[in-house]
Amino acid sequence: MLIRSLNILTELALWILLFGITFSNSVVEIFAISVISFFIIKRILLKEFRPSKTPINLILYALCGIIFVTFLRSAYFSESVRGFARIVKFSFLYFALIDFFQSDAKRLKRTFWILMIVACVTFLNGIFQSIHGFDILRHREIIKDDYLRRILASFVHPNDFAAYIIFVLPLTFCFFCRGIKSEQKYFLSLTCLLGFYCLFKTYSRAAWLGFLIALIIYLFFYKKKTLIALPAFIILLIIVFPQEWARIKNLFAFEHNTVWERTQLWKGTWEMVKVHPFLGFGVNTFSRYFLEYKPIEYPDIRYTHNSYLQMWSEIGIFGLLAFLTIIFTVLRTALRNMRKKIRSGFEGFILLGIAAGYAAFLIQSGLDTNLFSLVLTTLFWIMTAYIVSLNKFIEKEIDIFPRNDGAV
């Protein structure tokens, strides 16, 4: 009875956590810790202390070990303590969700629909902001001096909102599946359209690039023939949205202010990497050292707008490679035999959608700060646990979602 109650509380905490990601760091912290606490209590009651086996366990342990070493050699104890505690927290969250999802396949189904409902509400909030100038939940206003009027919903920056969108938007493509009810298809189609509009209104070029590559990945595994129509679709968008096309053309224009800024940030960070390439300066110490290595002409101190380069500067090449190996392992296991998995039904479409969103998010991370945002990193680890769990059920040919005659 107590275990059942803990499972119910875990699910409720997860749902609130998924909603909190869209508007509040505090909610994310509270309910991430709640999920972890319920997991620990349950394992103590069951006297089971070994985490569930997954393809990334050993790599995750190695990553934690490497970060611990960088913490020990860090000159800034308090900052590195917080950095090490952060990876430990996310590791526990990952194992807590693996345990939760893999104990009952129906939880994956419920979590999918909760995620889609939250996404729909968030997209509507963004559209409200584009019309009225502020969002409903936090009353965040569009930046007044921004002539593009980039929307951010309840996130702290339009790029963060864009990162959220490209992570969850490919999941709405599940309306392609024939094995779901009509009302579910309509809901997913509506959410998809709302998400596309919001993605355009963020004017995040890095997110656009990530999503385009994710779309290619999705179509490649879904139906290769549809890739032929993609260039025509892009040309149509250029004709209909000339302002957006002008912004895309300036993506790598050096004279563009944000491109110049990113270049200066990357130069300074690379100077840091050259000093300590193997173990870095210490986890969570980037802002402490960047002032010493930044180009003279660059006046500011901020995140480097390349999550992987900043990670390298803090935890060294060994830590970066461990993290990249986690990503590679998750995507490889998810996309292996993907065409066969799609034919298994709705769950195959979800796996493809979440893998494409995962790739889009990680591509944008190479041009932005996604992996150093609390809410976005939390979403990353939730989705990692979801992908690993869903893939396990599909490979075991366990039905999770109702379907009729297949998928394609």
- The pLDDT tens digits for 231-277 are 877 787 777 777 667 666 665 555 555 777 888 889 999 999 999 99
Q: Residue 406 — very low, low, confident or very high, per pLDDT cuts 50/70/90? A: very low
Give the C-alpha separation, 287 to 4, whole Å. 45
**400 in any annotated domain:** no
Mean pLDDT value across the chain: 91
Lowest mean pLDDT among 83-87, 140-144, 295-299, 369-373: 295-299
Q: How many domains does the chain have?
A: 1
**Is residue 297 pLDDT above 80, yes or no?**
no
Percent of the chain scored above 90 by pLDDT?
75
**308 in any annotated domain:** yes
**404 in any annotated domain:** no
| Residue of 253, 256, 155, 159 whose CA lies nearest to 201 | 159
Give the C-alpha separation, 140 to 44, whole Å. 43
Higher per-residue pLDDT: 296 or 254: 296
pLDDT tens sequence across 162-218:
999 999 999 999 998 888 899 999 999 999 999 999 999 998 989 999 999 999 999
Predicted structure pTM score: 0.93
**Count of positions (residues) in the chain:** 408
**146 in any annotated domain:** yes
**407 in any annotated domain:** no
Lowest mean pLDDT among 119-123, 219-223, 348-352: 219-223
Q: Residue 301 — very low, low, confident or very high, per pLDDT cuts 50/70/90? A: low
Biggest CA-to-CA distance, the chain: 64
Mean pLDDT, range 119-131, rounded to an integer: 98
Higher per-residue pLDDT: 326 or 243: 326
Give the C-alpha separation, 217 to 353, whole Å. 10
Which tokens belong to 259? Answer: 């491109």
Q: Where are the alpha helices (DSSP H) in 73-181?
A: 77-103, 106-132, 158-168
**320 in any annotated domain:** yes
CA angle 233, 239, 245 (to 5 degrees): 90
| Residue of 152, 196, 160 whose CA lies nearest to 175 | 196
**370 in any annotated domain:** yes
Q: Residue 344 — very low, low, confident or very high, per pLDDT cuts 50/70/90? A: confident
Give the C-alpha separation, 254 to 263, whole Å. 8
Domain hosting residue 146, numbered range: 2-395
Percent of the chain scored above 70 by pLDDT?
92
Q: Residue 383 — very low, low, confident or very high, per pLDDT cuts 50/70/90? A: very high
**403 in any annotated domain:** no
For residue 3, what are the CA distances in angstroms to 9, 104, 109? 10, 13, 21
Which residues sit opposite 134 in a β-bridge? 141
Q: Residue 324 — very low, low, confident or very high, per pLDDT cuts 50/70/90? A: very high
Which amino acid is located at 150 in the chain?
R
